[in-house]
Amino acid sequence: MSFFSKIFKSSNSPLNILSNTERKIIRAWCMYDWANSGFYTSVVVAIMPVYFVSLYKAEMGSGSVFWGFQFSASVVWALTGALATFIVALSSPIFGIIADRSGLKKKLLTILCATGSFCTLLLFLSAYTSTPWLFSLAFYFLAAIGFAGSNVFYNSLLPHIAPEDLLDDVSSRGYAYGYLGGGLLLLIHVVFLIFYNYSDLAIRSCIATTGLWSFGWALWTILVVPEPKIEVQDSGKFKFFHSVSQSFKQLKQTAKEFKQFKTLLIFLLAFIIFNDAIQTALGVAGAFGLDVLRISAETNILTILIVQFVATPGAMFFAYLSRKIGTKKSLITAVLGWGFITVLAVGFAPLSLSTHTQYDYQLNYDKTNDNYQFSYKPTLSDTNQNEIEWANLNIDLIDHNEDENFLNQDQVISFLENFDLKGCRFSASVSGGNLDDQSNICDTHPTKLNENFVDLWPKFLRMILWAPLGLSQDMQFIILGIGVGIVMGGSQALGRSLFAYMVPKSRSGEFFGFFSFSWRAVSVIGPITYALLAGFFTPRTGIVSLAIQIFIGVVILKYVNVEDGRKVALEHDKNNYKIK
- Assigned domain for 11 exists: no
- C-alpha span between 551 and 545 (Å, rounded): 10
pLDDT at 211: 96
Residues 93 and 203 grouped into a single domain: yes
Residues 115 and 26 grouped into a single domain: yes
Residue range of the domain that includes 406: 360-419+430-441
- Assigned domain for 448 exists: no
Sign of CA dihedral 404, 405, 408, 413: positive
- Assigned domain for 537 exists: yes
pLDDT at 74: 63
71 forms beta bridges with 64
Q: Are 526 and 549 in contact (CB under 8 A)?
A: yes
Count of CB atoms situated within 10 Å of the CB of 86:
14
pLDDT at 393: 77
Q: Are 259 and 508 in contact (CB under 8 A)?
A: no
pLDDT at 224: 95
Residues 525 and 482 grouped into a single domain: yes
Residues 436 and 531 grouped into a single domain: no
- C-alpha span between 156 and 512 (Å, rounded): 6
Residues 384 and 508 grouped into a single domain: no
Kind of pairing, strands 361-366 and 371-376? antiparallel
The CATH number that applies at residue 270 is 1.20.1250.20
Residues 404 and 488 grouped into a single domain: no
Residues 296 and 437 grouped into a single domain: no
pLDDT at 386: 67
- Assigned domain for 234 exists: no
Residues 560 and 493 grouped into a single domain: yes
- Assigned domain for 10 exists: no
pLDDT at 299: 86
Could you state, in chain order, the average pLDDT of each consecutive group of 10 residues for the chain (580 residues)?
51 74 92 93 86 82 60 71 78 72 82 96 95 94 92 85 85 90 94 91 96 96 87 50 58 66 89 89 80 81 90 91 92 96 93 88 90 84 64 72 71 86 82 91 82 88 93 92 91 88 79 71 76 80 92 95 89 66
- C-alpha span between 346 and 282 (Å, rounded): 14
Q: How many domains does the chain have?
A: 2
pTM of the shown model: 0.78
Residues 146 and 54 grouped into a single domain: yes
Residues 327 and 401 grouped into a single domain: no
Residues 300 and 383 grouped into a single domain: no
- Assigned domain for 450 exists: no
Q: Which residues of 392-424 are buried (b: 16+ CB within 10 A; e: fewer)?
A: eebeeebeeeeeeebbeeeebeebbebbeeeeb
- Assigned domain for 464 exists: no
Residues 340 and 289 grouped into a single domain: yes
pLDDT at 58: 79
pLDDT at 125: 96
- C-alpha span between 48 and 138 (Å, rounded): 13
- Assigned domain for 7 exists: no
pLDDT at 248: 60
pLDDT at 135: 96
